[in-house]
Amino acid sequence: MKSKHTLAIMFPTLLLAGFVFLLWPGCEDPEAGRQPGAAETENVDSTAQVPAARVKRYYVQLAALSAEDKANEFQEGTGENLPAIVQPARLQDGTRLWRVVSGPFLTEPDATRRLAQARRAGFQDAFISIELAGPDPMEIDSTEMAIEEAVEESKLKQLTSIGGCSGPRWSPTGREIAFFRRGPEQEGLYAIGTGGGQHSRIVESGPDFEVTRHYRWSPDGRQMAVVVRELNRRFEKVENLYLFDKRGSRRRAIMQQLRNEFAITNLLWAPDGTKLAFEADYAVIDPGAEDMASVLVIDLDWDFSEPGSASRPRWIRASNFGRTNRLLGFSSAQTLLFLSEVDTRTAPHDDMTFQVWSYDLPARQPALLSGEQQISNCSAPVLGNGFIVCSTFAHQYSQHPDQIVLQDLTGNDRQILLGRESATDTFSDVQILGNSDIFFTYNDKLLVYDSNGRKAMMELQAHPQSLTVSPSGRKVCFEIGGDLYSLRLAF
C-alpha cells in the first residue's frame, strides 16, 4: 500500500517520464530512428517472430532481506494458507536482495485480495509490487520498493496508543510482537501485528493469578513460557511457570512451588524446544539462603498431565551449589553455559566476580571454560557465538551500568564496546541476533555491533526503555513512554 509520501515522490517522476516519451524522436517504436547496418540487412528472415511485449505482473511483497538463508526461513514461516516464494532482486544501486513474495497475479484485484489475506495473517508491512516480465528474472522494476523503503526506513512507527506497555518480544515467526501491559483495570500479556492495529489477548491476570512481565516465546513461536504469581497451599504468594499457546486457549503448569523458595527470572528455551532453563533467585526470598541463585532446567518431555506433577517437575540444577549463578544460554540442545561466582574470599570486597562454566545435561556434569579469566560485576549477560556481551558496573552496589563489554568465552580477549560518559546516560538490555549482531540503545541512539566491534548507529530522537529485534534483523521495536514503536533499519 502506497503512502501519501510515496505518491508525492512518484507523481512528478511519472509525469516527467510521460512528457519525455511524447517528445523523444522514435519513442513510439523501440526500433524507430535506427538504421540497420549492413550485416543486419542481409538474409533478413521476414517470418521471424517479433519479441513478445513485456507484461505486467503483480506480486504481494512480504519481506526483502539481504541474506538468502534468512529469506528462506521467512518463507517457511508464512504457512500453507499464504504461499510464497523467494525471488532474487537487485536495487538500482546494485544492492542484491532476496524478496519473499506471493504471486504472481495477472490482475490487480487478485493481488489486492492476497494483500488483504497477508495483512490478516499479521504481515502488516506487505504491499503490492508491480513488475514487468522480462527474460532475466534478476532484472525487475524495483523503483516502487526502493521508494517505499526510503520513506519508511527512517521513521519511528507507533504500534500502540493504549499506554502501560513494556517488555516487547518479537515472535520467532516475525509476524507479531508480544508485550506486557498494566492498564487501569487489567494486566497481562498481549500480541500485536508488526504493523500495529488491534492488539489481542494472550493471557490476563485473574483472582489469585498474577501474570508477570517475565515470559519467552518458544523457538517455533507456537507457545509461550510465562511466570505467574499465585497462592500455594500455605497461602504464600509464589512464582510458578506455565506454558500457553499464543492465543492463551491452552494452559499447562510446568513448575509450581510447594513453598516460597525462589523468584524466577531469565527464561530461555533450548534450541529444539524440549527444555526450559531459568534463574532461581533464592536470595530474593531469603537473604541468608545457602544457595544464592541457581540455574534450573526443566525437561518439557515430562508428563505434566498427572495431578500434582508440576510440583515435582523433572528438573536439573545446572550450576554450582552455594554460589550466585547467572544463565547465559544453550550452546546446543544438550549443553548449557552459565556464569558462576568466584569464591568471595579471593575476590575484591566490592566486586562480584564470575567465571564461565558449561554444563553437560545428559552427563549432569559442570566444567570450567574460562580458566583464570574472570568477569567482574556483570549484569544481564547474553550469549553469542563464542562470546558474551554484558553490562558491567563500577562495583556491585552501583545503580547503573558503566560499560557494555564483549568478552571472549575461553581466551583473554575483552573489548569495551561503549562506556557511559555521564551519570545520566542510559543503556538498554543487549539483544544478540544470529549469534553475532549485537543490538542495544544508548540514550537516544540505536547501536549495532558485529562480533569484531564494527559499529552502525541510528538517531532515534527519543529515549527508548526496552528493545526487541525482528528475526530478519531489518526492524526493531521499542517501548517509549508506555507505548510500542517500530523502526526499519537504514543499514
Cα distance between residue 16 and residue 412, in whole Å? 61
pLDDT recorded at residue 386: 82
pLDDT recorded at residue 93: 61
Among the four given CATH numbers 3.30.2130.10, 3.40.50.1170, 3.40.640.10, 3.30.70.1070, the one describing domain 54-152: 3.30.70.1070
Cα distance between residue 25 and residue 34, in whole Å? 11
Per the listing, cell 504481515 goes with 123
Q: How many CA atoms lie within 13 A of 340 on its CB side?
A: 24
pLDDT recorded at residue 306: 64
- Which tens digit of pLDDT belongs to each residue from 56-89? 678 888 888 878 888 888 887 777 678 888 888 8
Mean pLDDT of 109-113: 85
255, 240 contact by CB (below 8 A)? yes
What values do phi and psi take at 309, rounded to 5? -65, -30
pLDDT recorded at residue 40: 37
Q: Answer yes or no: is pLDDT of 349 > 60.
A: no
pLDDT recorded at residue 307: 61
What is the chain's mean pLDDT, rounded? 77
Higher pLDDT: 353 or 152? It is: 353
Close Cβ partners of 470 (under 8 Å, ≥ 6 residues apart) = 170, 174, 194, 476, 477
Cα distance between residue 229 and residue 251, in whole Å? 15
pLDDT recorded at residue 410: 67
- Which tens digit of pLDDT belongs to each residue from 351-376? 678 888 999 999 999 999 876 667 77
Band the pLDDT of 145: cuts 50, 70, 90.
very low
Cα distance between residue 62 and residue 149, in whole Å? 13
Mean pLDDT of 291-304: 84
Q: Answer yes or no: is pLDDT of 243 > 80.
A: yes
Instruction: Compute the CA torsion angle 406, 337, 396, 440 (nearest 10 deg).
Output: 40
DSSP string covering 323-351: SBEEEEEEEETTEEEEEEEPPTTTS-TT-
The pTM score is: 0.67
Mean pLDDT of 297-316: 73
Alpha-helical (H) ranges within 179-304 are none
| Cell of residue 454, nine digits | 564494527
Cα distance between residue 72 and residue 45, in whole Å? 46
pLDDT recorded at residue 476: 92
> In this structure, which topology does domain 205-376 adopt according to CATH?
Methylamine Dehydrogenase; Chain H (2.130.10)
Mean pLDDT of 204-218: 93
Band the pLDDT of 291: cuts 50, 70, 90.
low
| Cell of residue 209, nine digits | 493469578
Mean pLDDT of 15-35: 36
User: For a pLDDT cut of 70, what percent of the chain falls above it?
Assistant: 75
Q: What are the start and end residues of each CATH 2.130.10.10 domain in the chain?
A: 205-376
Higher pLDDT: 212 or 118? It is: 212
Q: Does residue 104 have a cis bond before it (omega within 30 degrees)?
A: yes
Mean pLDDT of 216-223: 94
**Type of residue numbered 389:** V
Higher pLDDT: 180 or 421? It is: 180
pLDDT recorded at residue 53: 47
Mean pLDDT of 241-269: 89
Cα-based distances in Å from 39 to 35, 42, 49: 11, 6, 19
Band the pLDDT of 301: cuts 50, 70, 90.
confident
pLDDT recorded at residue 210: 94
Sheet hosting strand 127-132, strand order edge to edge: 85-90, 96-105, 56-65, 127-132
Q: What are the start and end residues of each CATH 3.30.70.1070 domain in the chain?
A: 54-152
**3-state secondary structure string, 58-124?**
EEEEEEEECCHHHHHHHHHCCCCCCCCEEEEEECCCCCEEEEEEEEEECCHHHHHHHHHHHHHCCCC
Determine which of 33-37, 104-108, 163-167, 380-384 has the lowest per-residue pLDDT on average: 33-37
| Cell of residue 29, nine digits | 517504436
Q: Answer yes or no: is pLDDT of 220 > 80.
A: yes
Instruction: Compute the CA torsion angle 302, 305, 311, 316 (nearest 10 deg).
Output: 10
Cα distance between residue 55 and residue 400, in whole Å? 60
pLDDT recorded at residue 411: 56
- Which tens digit of pLDDT belongs to each residue from 441-471? 888 888 898 877 777 888 887 788 889 999 9
Cα distance between residue 384 and residue 408, in whole Å? 10
What values do phi and psi take at 127, rounded to 5? -150, 165
